Structure 1
Amino acid sequence: MRTNAVIWHDRSSKIALIILWVARILFKPLLSLWPSNDFGIALLGRLSWLVDKLTRPPRAVHVTQTELGGVPGERIISPKPVDDPLEAATILYFHGGGFIFCGPSTHRQLCVQLALDSGAPVYSMDYRQVPAVPIAGSVQDAMNAYVALLEVAEDPTRIVVGGDSAGGYLAAKVAEIAARRGIQRPAAVIGYSPLLNLDLETHDPAYMAKDAYLPIKALGKIRPRWFAGEEAIEGEMNPVDADPSLFPPMFMCAAEYELTRPDVEIMTERLASAGRSVETHLWRGQIHAWPVLARAIPEAMELIGSSTRFARRVVTAVDDDKSA
């Protein structure tokens, strides 16, 4: 399968626009002032605990605690029988949060919707983050989880790796490192506003300042914590700089104004120029990583559906190649 498409979406629902302006007026100033020390990070880390306490377990799916390669997480299974190419697939998901906060609980609704749309089991991983480890440790956890999944997945050739923001970085790194190591590559990568470049300050500061709720100065404060210690990130530090031939088919999205959009577009162009399959959706009136708001805004549900349809086409193409 070869798809080289950038799709623009101009329509935004009223609820999405409300969320956009609430983020711009309330959350962005708050994040700008938030302390980047251990205390501030620890407070953010309590968000996952709070969400877990305040939300009810989803009824439409079966959620169990699990671990892959020593990395804890959740396994989400949809009881709905699905007779399509994704039935034997597995989705490995990494949450976003700037490598400092969030977890499976904050991204549960998104992963539940992925399970319902695909019919595939979804593994949502609780990888280590700052200050416990720098980004290199998060990458190591992601790879340990992927290697372990290769052993237990129903079909290791049908593993789809996904993530949003920092989790999108990890998903891209898993694909890159798997190719470098010469092990089974993921069938596809899904990146919702993926962070593909850790050097965001290289982009136009006037554009970067337009992100609805992520202040570029706050990221600049936390950035030294990403690289604490001497452990180097395996492979390229920035996935956008890696050899495009290392990547499987990729599905990506970005909001019109957000920090990750420049590199999503650069990555799309490089993949397409190298003849790789890529589908990218750019959407006006959204905030960074809006698919996390699954069931809250229609655009999130639409994009999740588009990503699972992309994965379905990829798996179908692999099956056609096998039978040819």
Structure 2
Amino acid sequence: MKAREILSAIKAGRPVAGDCRRPDVEPLPGIPAYRLTTAASRPDRTVLFFHGGGSTGGSTFDSLDLCARIADAAEAEIISVEYRLAPAHPFPAAVEDALFAYRHLLTSGYVPERVVPAGLSAGGTLVVSMLLAARDAGLPMPAAGVCLSPAVDMLFLGDSVIFNQETDWLEPKTLAAMRDAYLPDRDPTDPLASPLYADLAGLPPLLVQAGGGEVLIDGIEAFVSAARLQGVPVAFDCVEGMFHCWQVFAAVLPEGAAAVERVGAFIRRHVPDEG
């Protein structure tokens, strides 16, 4: 399928079916998370995954196909975290859960240089928030981080929020409702909620992947520029014409499949095969 066909289906509320992959799934003891593996997974390369859903929805089981494809492309195991959701658990609950998951891996014997946190949409934001919290707590940094279509500015000030509505399925009213649920009576510029306003120095290399047609693209580009100015190595992978979270449709969208392959290559580059 083509991107415009998928976007039209999403806006119309029609399902987009494809040949979805399913990893092996097992609960991870001691933490609200699942270990996902495929035949390609290596036990010495771990992706700590945070699902999307606007901080108010979503779960590991909504992201099984994407996780399986990342596991194949990265040749890694996936630890997918079931972090708490707003409005029942507003900010900073999700950040606390993400940091707890990373601490759990470290205390369970995982080597930080063999771990890469990755996330989609709100989960991509959570990657940066977790890295900031871990840095401030004095924890060792992981090898790298992967942010897929992250929401990095909860003020949503970019012009693209208005002018890219024809090329994306996210709407300003949806973004505002998400912010109100996630940040009731909180400052939207809190660095752990809006990493665009954070001191980013000391973070590991990042892959930031976004679509040129996203309503969030202006904020994402501003974040990439800010991170680079503060010395963070950032690989910015912007694909023209793509909408928010197009990677989810890798089963039917060639650009989505190619994007996931680039995610895998980035992870393998920063966590090379041992020996």
TM norm. shorter chain > 0.5: yes
SS of 2:53's equivalent?
Answer: coil
Give CA-to-partner distance per residue, 1:239-290, whole Å, 9 cap, x none: 1121231321000111112132112211221222333211111112322011
Question: Which residue pairs with 1:273 in the alignment?
Answer: 229
Distance 1:20 1:195 in 2: 19
Give the number of the structure whose alpha-carbon radius of gyration is greater: 1
How high is the TM-score relative to the length of structure 1? 0.75
Question: Which residue pairs with 1:4 in the alignment?
Answer: none
Higher helix share: 1
Distance 2:218 2:134 in 1: 25
Distance 2:35 2:135 in 1: 25
Q: Match for 2:158 among 199, 203, 216?
A: 203
Structure 2: give runs of 5+ residues left out of the alignment: none
Distance 1:221 1:230 in 2: 14
Structure 1: give runs of 5+ residues left out of the alignment: 1-13, 31-50, 320-324
Question: Which residue pairs with 1:190 in the alignment?
Answer: 146
* Equivalent residue runs for 1:82-121 within 5 Å: 88-121=44-77
- Checking the alignment, whether the CA contact within 8 Å between 1:81 and 1:119 is kept in structure 2 is yes
Give the direction of change, closer, same or farther, for the CA distance of 1:264–1:18 in structure 2 (3 Å limit): same
Distance 2:250 2:228 in 1: 29
How high is the TM-score relative to the length of structure 2? 0.87
Which residue identity is paired with 1:278? V
Distance 1:212 1:172 in 2: 23
The alignment status of 1:156 with 2:112, answered yes or no, reads yes
Distance 1:107 1:221 in 2: 23
Give the direction of change, closer, same or farther, for the CA distance of 1:229–1:262 in structure 2 (3 Å limit): closer
How far is the alpha carbon of 1:218 from its aligned partner?
2.5
When structure 1 is superposed on structure 2, of 157-166 and 233-242 the one drifting more is 233-242
Question: Which residue pairs with 1:310 in the alignment?
Answer: 266
Give the direction of change, closer, same or farther, for the CA distance of 1:315–1:234 in structure 2 (3 Å limit): farther
How far is the alpha carbon of 1:91 from its aligned partner?
0.5
How far is the alpha carbon of 1:22 from its aligned partner?
2.3
Tell me which of the two structures has the higher relative contact order, counting C-alpha pairs closer than 8 angstroms and 6 or more residues apart. Answer: 1
SS of 1:246's equivalent?
Answer: coil
Distance 2:259 2:73 in 1: 11
Question: Which residue pairs with 1:129 in the alignment?
Answer: 85
Task: Give the number of equivalent residue pairs.
Answer: 270
Which residue identity is paired with 1:64? E
Distance 1:217 1:244 in 2: 29
Q: Match for 1:78 among 38, 42, 57?
A: 38
Distance 2:249 2:227 in 1: 28
Distance 1:181 1:81 in 2: 30
Which residue identity is paired with 1:15? K
Identity percentage of aligned residues: 27
The alignment status of 1:66 with 2:20, answered yes or no, reads no
SS of 2:92's equivalent?
Answer: helix
Q: Match for 2:247 among 291, 304, 320?
A: 291
Give the direction of change, closer, same or farther, for the CA distance of 1:15–1:57 in structure 2 (3 Å limit): closer
Distance 1:233 1:68 in 2: 33
SS of 1:254's equivalent?
Answer: strand
Which residue identity is paired with 1:62? D
Give CA-to-partner distance per residue, 1:6-45, whole Å, 9 cap, x none: xxxxxxxx43221022234x14xx9xxxxxxxxxxxxxxx
SS of 2:61's equivalent?
Answer: coil
Distance 1:64 1:288 in 2: 29
Distance 1:305 1:109 in 2: 14
Question: Which residue pairs with 1:263 in the alignment?
Answer: 219
- Checking the alignment, whether the CA contact within 8 Å between 1:291 and 1:304 is kept in structure 2 is yes
* Equivalent residue runs for 1:31-46 within 5 Å: none
Distance 2:219 2:59 in 1: 24
